[in-house]
Amino acid sequence: MTASVPATRREGGVTKRLMLAAGGSHPRLADAVAARLGTTIAPRTAHAFANGEVFVRFGTSVRGSDVFVLQTPTDPINTWLLESLIMLDALRRASAKTITVIWPFHPYGRQDKKHRGREPISARLVADLLATAGADRLMTVDLHTAQIQGFFAGPVDHLRAQPLLARHVRAAHPDADLTVVAPDSGRVRLAETWAELLGGRPIAFVQHRDSLQHGHGTEIVGDVRGRVCVVVDDMIDTGATMAGATRLLREHGAAQVIAAATHGVLSGDAPHRLAASGIGEVVLTDTVPLPPAKRFPGLTVLSVAPMLAEAIHEVFDDGSVTKLFEGAEGHKV
């Protein structure tokens, strides 16, 4: 298959070429982004040798192109991370003009600081690996902590999915008495952002998040009785926090519980845990692939492909990515 590469002639007779490349982790999202851009994904061959070594070769010239590499390092996370690095090395050695890495889900984002002695800061290590492999720019969605932007030496486009998720919640519950709930005190700032996006709603938060799965030692700060509670976080991994928060909120008289997060990692038996928790709805985006085995009744998945395609377009045309951070009402997140 030959890649369709759109060209834009700039002032001064300079021609820019956009090329979209994709790893093997999330083909559905890659195809959706390509369709929005009106292009196809650059052809490549990829395989593993008998001893597990990864090989990648692009099937068309990338010389002088502005290449956007889409990959979601998720399960198996180290496999897709390494494939990303090898793709970048191949593009750099093939004389790509610029290389922008698009990681809708940033791997190792939870390891952004040392909690105790003799621990790594793996998020910084990953940023160093990206730069060494040849990345000029990073585009990602809803980092676990915003400080990770400072680990990468080049420009970082930190896109936000909260407006997309909030629009869905508002449309699904237009007349409900909503309360935004942070699963711990560290997510209160996120809850405040959500409260504004939902039209100035009250917030509450869970004390002692780590004890949610044990069923004791937890308390809700804020009024949730008789209200539709929207529990917000950046990701759902095992589902234990959301399931525990649902139980706790129900005990405190919540009328309904909705979970909203950008990244649906859903490790292990998380889908079953969430489905059995009594939660009303789980709203996620498709930054991480969600195969049929991870789907369950009450799950809603929203696509970030339009946002990613628009961000690619703005970067390629030297436009403004900042405008993508603004919600429908002009609230800047």
Per residue in 109-135, pLDDT (tens digit) is: 999 999 999 999 999 999 999 999 999
Q: Is the pLDDT of residue 139 over 50?
A: yes
C-alpha closest to that of 222 among 252, 262, 186, 258: 252
Structure confidence at residue 324 (pLDDT): 73
Compute the Cα dihedral for 181, 186, 192, 198 and give only its sign.
Answer: negative
Structure confidence at residue 281 (pLDDT): 98
Q: Is the pLDDT of residue 8 over 70?
A: no
Report yes or no: 232 and 242 within 8 Å, Cβ to Cβ.
Answer: no
Report yes or no: 219 and 225 within 8 Å, Cβ to Cβ.
Answer: no
Report yes or no: 185 and 205 within 8 Å, Cβ to Cβ.
Answer: yes
Q: Which of 29-43, 211-225, 260-274, 276-290 has the lowest mean pLDDT?
A: 211-225
For range 226-239, the mean pLDDT? 97
Express as a percent the part of the chain with pLDDT over 90.
Answer: 87
Phi, psi of 220 (to 5 degrees): -100, 130
Structure confidence at residue 71 (pLDDT): 98
* DSSP code for 331: -
Q: Which of 1-5, 212-216, 285-289 has the lowest mean pLDDT?
A: 1-5
Sheet holding 98-103, edge to edge: 7-9, 15-22, 65-70, 98-103, 137-141, 156-159
* DSSP code for 276: T
pLDDT category at 323 given cuts 50, 70, 90 is confident
Express as a percent the part of the chain with pLDDT over 70.
Answer: 90
Q: What is the mean pLDDT of the chain?
A: 92
Please write down the long-range contacts of 238-242, taking CB distance under 8 Å and 24 or more positions apart.
Answer: 238/267, 238/268, 238/270, 238/273, 239/266, 239/269, 239/270, 239/271, 239/273, 239/274, 239/277, 240/212, 240/213, 240/273, 241/183, 241/209, 241/212, 241/213, 242/183, 242/274, 242/277, 242/279, 242/282
Q: Is the pLDDT of residue 12 over 60?
A: no
